[in-house]
Amino acid sequence: MESLRLIDEWPVDNAAAGAVSASGEVRGRHGDPARPFRLASVTKLLTAYAAHIAIEEGVVELDTPAGPKGSTVAHLLAHTSGLAFDAHKAMAEPGTRRLYSNAGFEELADALAEHSGIAFAEYQREALFEPLGMTSTRLEGSPAAGAVSTLDDLLRFAAELQAPKLLAPETLSAATEIAFPGLNGVLPGFGHQKPNDWGLGFELRDHKSPHWTGANSSPRTFGHFGQSGTFLWVDPEAGHACVALADRSFGPWAAQVWPPFTDAVLAELSA
């Protein structure tokens, strides 16, 4: 795919990108597919997926109390628990605001560990990484932002997000619909959004502007980007997903190059 070569123009030392179809076919790769990159908040996709596996296994339920008083697993997944960004401190009543929270995902992982009796990193490895063959992926720190992975591993995960084998399709479908609709909030790096729609662990494109995906990304697009210069999106309308990894922290450079990159990838995939 020629569009993937646009990463060569990014102001970064190292980058890798690829696209995979809903059938699991890797449509293209560019860059070192085995180079490990820090994922930052793309980690949240991996944590959320492990949480949904745990829900299907009966470890917890969406309405299991977790986090601050009145909060549930669903609130933590949807960034509506009221917890602060990086502090384990309640800033609002659960369900009233969309407050993006690393602390919320840390408390989610703590709840899963408590109810399963297994350390979260071990549970995630056994339930998610090993079944998908993600042998180069590991959680080195916070379940909100501490994972390290490679392009090839994340393409395997992106294929799973389009044709799930570890979850029932209806579970994933529900997770990528708006949870607690109508809530405003800040999309980190892209300002206040009205509304700031989110699924159960997945950021939703919807009609947000500005946004890190493309002008031609469908409103149903879901995924996440990370402050380490990474992103993963799935566009169900296009029938494809894209992963891009870089070793430069998110900043104006990323907000400038990511949307046209996404549009170029979508255009080539639909040609």
Average pLDDT for consecutive 10-residue bins of the chain (271 residues)? Answer: 97 98 97 98 98 97 97 98 96 96 98 98 98 98 98 98 98 97 95 96 96 98 98 98 98 97 97 87
Cα–Cα distance measured from residue 228 to residue 135, given in angstroms and rounded to the nearest whole number: 21
Domains and CATH numbers, the chain: 3-270 (3.40.710.10)
Question: Can you give the pLDDT at residue 271?
Answer: 87
Asked if 147 contacts 226 with a C-beta cutoff of 8 angstroms, the reply is: no
- Give me the residues paired with residue 15 across strands: 246
Cα–Cα distance measured from residue 261 to residue 165, given in angstroms and rounded to the nearest whole number: 29
Asked if 74 contacts 265 with a C-beta cutoff of 8 angstroms, the reply is: no
Q: What angle do CA 162, 166, 167 make, to 5 degrees?
A: 75
| pTM for this prediction | 0.97
